[in-house]
Amino acid sequence: MADGTAISCQEVVEVVTDYLEGKLSPDDAAILEAHLKLCEGCQFYLDQMRITIAAVGRIEDDEVPAELHDTVLAAFRNRRV
């Protein structure tokens, strides 16, 4: 069983992305997961990160400037002719 105290919370917040991207070594991932079992604060942090990623995925499209929109749409239409 990996030792969850081998990593501090301060270190956890710096490797969450590596963890979520599956880029931690199996040993390091095991340590992180053992830490999460012990530490509610880091569990909450990881949840916050997941919620953040979900929120980023739901932002609305920016408004395309009208002139740009009209120019490219006209070109797209002309392509058909």
Residue ranges that bind other proteins, judged by CB under 8 A: 8-11, 13-14, 16-18, 21, 23, 39-42, 44-45, 47-49, 51-62, 64-65, 68-69, 71-73, 75-77, 79-80
Nearest-approach distance from CB 66 to other proteins, in angstroms: 11
Cβ-based nearer residue to other proteins, 37 or 72 = 72
Nearest-approach distance from CB 39 to other proteins, in angstroms: 8
Concatenated DSSP letters of the chain: ---GGGS-HHHHHHHHHHHHTT-S-HHHHHHHHHHHHH-HHHHHHHHHHHHHHHHHTTPPPPPPPHHHHHHHHHHHHHHH-
Please name the amino acid found at residue 6. A
Nearest-approach distance from CB 71 to other proteins, in angstroms: 6
Cβ-based nearer residue to other proteins, 31 or 42 = 42
Residues in Cβ contact with 1 at an 8 Å cutoff, skipping those fewer than 6 apart: 34
